[in-house]
Homo-oligomer: A and B are copies of this chain.
Amino acid sequence: MPRKTILPDARISPRYAGVCTFSRYPLIAHVAPENAPPDWAIYGVPFDAGVTYRPGARFGPRAIREESQYVKRYHVEHDLDLCDALSIADAGDSPVRPFDCEDNHKAQLEFAMAIGDPNLTRLFAVGGDHSIALANIRATWQRRGSPAGGLACIHFDSHLDTVDSTLGEKYSHASPFIRAIQAGYINPRRMLSIGIKGPLNTAKDLDFAREHGVEVVTYEDWSQRDGRARIDQFVRSLAASKAETYLTFDIDCVDPAFAPGTGTPSVGGFTSAEVLALLRGLAHHAGDRRGLDIVGADVVEVLPDRDVSGITALLAGHVIFEIMCLDALHRR
């Protein structure tokens, strides 16, 4: 029987009032028994020691909790009340190990594995830098029974994040997907990277993804060539296969005008409207129209100190909402 999410009464506590949880969802300890365990647990990972340029994303969960107070519950396009469809909870923040990326990976993994019911509760990690995706992917994969082939993956980003190592570090924000693919958590032939853009250090940075069969749709593929059709084809095929899919969203896939608050901004990309439409499009494929089966997700790389008007964190809050709506639609 479907569980729900109980929000504070806005007649008593307006959106600018109260202790901030993600989108005003209850703390996981406060979820009413009839709604427990939650369908989705959102947790922060205030970690940015994995960055190669500007740090500060450790304050991302806090900023997204704040700005997401203004994320409402009813999705007009989908005609869906998310809080009537799913039980969602804020599981707080993962412990972090700010002085060692690999240790942090382990601490986050242990925390994530213990959240809610591993069979029922899906994990939504909020960064922090992109290195934190790895533990959430791994935890999701393990909680789904460690499927041999790995999970499918939809990846929004300006960067491929498949660098083998940076200054000897193999767990930085440049490497989550090479690690996840090498460990078998993600099936590269079922991985789609959308929005890659900007100059690279070397042509070789494209090699790993191409050699392992990742479907790469650059921003220019999408805006100038056949990228839209390739995305449609990929998603249709994925939906048809009923593959369990992980969705990872680096906010820097959006143009810096829309997401100035990020650590490695890359000019010339999606508008907010375009990226929301892309996300909604993941629900509109395959014969039964049920879209993708999103079994885990993350939103990363929000850096509040560069987000002077808060619009990046506000967008991130809405992206979280859109992604969970995909699951609600799938279950419908």
Contact = CB atoms under 8 A, between A and B. Distances in A.
A172 B14 CA distance: 14
A148 B275 CA distance: 45
A302 to B, nearest CB: 13
B264 A268 contact: no
Interface in A108-160: none
A310 B306 contact: yes
A280 B324 CA distance: 38
A12 B95 contact: yes
A55 B50 CA distance: 12
A220 to B, nearest CB: 5
B54 A56 contact: yes
Interface in A243-290: 255-258, 260-261, 264-265, 267-269, 271-273, 275-277
A83 B198 CA distance: 15
Copies in the complex: 6
Interface residues of A, number: 100
Interface in A304-329: 305-311, 314-315, 318, 321
Interface of A: 10-21, 27, 44, 46, 48-56, 58-59, 61-62, 65-66, 70-77, 79, 81-82, 90, 92-101, 166-169, 172, 196-203, 205-206, 218-220, 223-224, 255-258, 260-261, 264-265, 267-269, 271-273, 275-277, 305-311, 314-315, 318, 321
Given A17-B58, A19-B20, A99-B168, 12 more contacts: A13-B95, A17-B44, A19-B19, A54-B59, A55-B58, A74-B202, A100-B100, A100-B169, A199-B318, A257-B257, A268-B273, A269-B273
